[in-house]
Amino acid sequence: HRVPAVSHTMWYFIGAGDDPTGKSGLAHYHEHVMFLGTKKYKSGEYSSIIARNGGDQNAFTGHDATAYFVNISKENLPLAMEMEADRMGDLTASDADMEKEKQVIIEERRMRIDNNPDALLSEQVNAALFRSHPYRLPVIGWQHEMDKLTKQDVLDFHKKWYHPNNAILIIAGDITAAEVKPLVEKYYGDIARVDVPSRNWNDEPPQR
């Protein structure tokens, strides 16, 4: 309560370890597409609206989960919630924006992995260390599989996994549980529950 600000983070229990076979990098690609627009907000509006209201936002993908955070003034928390709830339910990125964003993640791979000997070594070590478990896959994906990802892959991924019962919301800062509960119910309470598949990751053979 030292400053009138809050941090709003939506965690989804879905990550790179859940990428379908042959579609590595899909969870990370989808994370990028979450910023490309819905029926209500045009491409890029999410980020620009948060910035205009003094907030800071970003997202990250891991093997186990994907998270989207906003740090913003307490008075603008309802705005952040409204936009997060909107994109939980709907994505409508254009074909052109989808293709442009795919080139962004491919370039990100070149910059962070292909041009970094340490990252290349780490990627190859993980691929050798984990024989069956999905931790063997790079979060960003193998480029030959990233090249083939499609808009429909992303939309299917969203429809399959991005539901309130497959997520947890963490809010911290200058706010109490009593204050935040009505806001959560207002913005997220009407989003329908959808059954999601159970995570079924392979066990590792004995390490030798």
Task: Please list the active-site residues.
Answer: 31
Residue 78: half-sphere exposure toward Cβ, Cα within 13 Å? 6
DSSP state at residue 58: E
Q: How many helices (H) and strands (E) does the chain have?
A: 8, 4
| CA-angle at 202, arms to 21 and 197, nearest 5° | 70
Distance CA 95, CA 29 (A): 14
Gap between the Cα atoms of 193 and 202, Å rounded: 27
Element (H, E) at 197: none
DSSP state of 64: S
